[in-house]
Structure 1
């Protein structure tokens, strides 16, 4: 039995995307505040920079995967395609709404203005968890077992 990869570019892109999200959203985001000398304002400034960069990198991966889906003419309602489209939708929401809203809140803190309570960070973290799960499913669907050379 051998394992065949349907789309190597998509496999590399999806697992790098998962790695970036896990490393930044689930590790860097809260660890930076544990470093000596990091104030809330400094940590928020770093976070804005890092998450802005992460968002751009995510778009590169999403575009690479999307191109592969188009090239391979993937059916729109297949498990594989839906497992990619949901993270893509969440990335749109993060890009157009969550990140700008979180940036505005961070800017308020940096300017010593305390904004009203908000659940935006929970929405962002929830979206990240859903993205990682869906991307993992998508990545797994890229592998296919074959029985080359097996006689029946």
Structure 2
């Protein structure tokens, strides 16, 4: 396996691990008895805000590698799918959800919305796509 492909595998699988860790942290955080929901939302917004930049950096590495490493169309589609999902989360859903946190911190209960569920679905999709991408690249090595 070339160094470029190995870098792509490492980036994809580290990204998957980070997503799982932050997802688990989010679930555990809201079960902490002394953490109020508004503070939990604010902490979550901060964590996901920073993680969005990290993910954009990881995506950039994959895209740059895809220009220099020979990979098939399926793997390019998987990178693009992860990128589109991430961009929807970062540039559309996250700002909307962040505004909801602002309302909650002001003591206003915002109306129900589908955006949080959609963010979660995109996260699961991105997790599956990146896992498949890493596994397919590793599978090539085993053949």
* Same fold, judged at TM 0.5 (above): yes
The reply on whether 1:57 has 2:59 as its aligned counterpart is no
Per-residue deviation, residues 86-116 of structure 1 (Å, max 9, x unmatched)? 0100111111110000000011111100111
> Match for 1:106 among 84, 93, 101?
101
Displacement over 6 Å in runs of 4+: none
The total of aligned residue pairs comes to 141
Correspondence 1:51-130 to 2 at 5 A: 51-74=48-71, 78-130=73-125
Gap change, CA 1:47 and 1:146, over 3 Å in 2: closer
> Match for 1:46 among 43, 48, 51?
43
Partner of 1:150: none
More strand by share: 1
2:113 is paired with a residue whose SS is coil
1:113 is paired with a residue whose SS is coil
- Unaligned ranges ≥5, structure 1: 148-152
Q: Which has the higher contact order (CA 8 A, sep 6+)?
A: 1
Structure 1 range deviating more: 125-134 or 4-13: 4-13
Per-residue deviation, residues 8-33 of structure 1 (Å, max 9, x unmatched)? 111111001101111112x1112111
TM-score between both structures, scaled by the size of structure 2: 0.92
Gap change, CA 1:146 and 1:38, over 3 Å in 2: closer
Please provide the CA RMSD for this pair: 1.6
- Unaligned ranges ≥5, structure 2: none
Deviation at 1:73, TM superposition (A): 4.8
Deviation at 1:74, TM superposition (A): 3.9
Partner of 2:13: 15
Distance across 2 between alignment mates of 1:89 and 1:135: 12
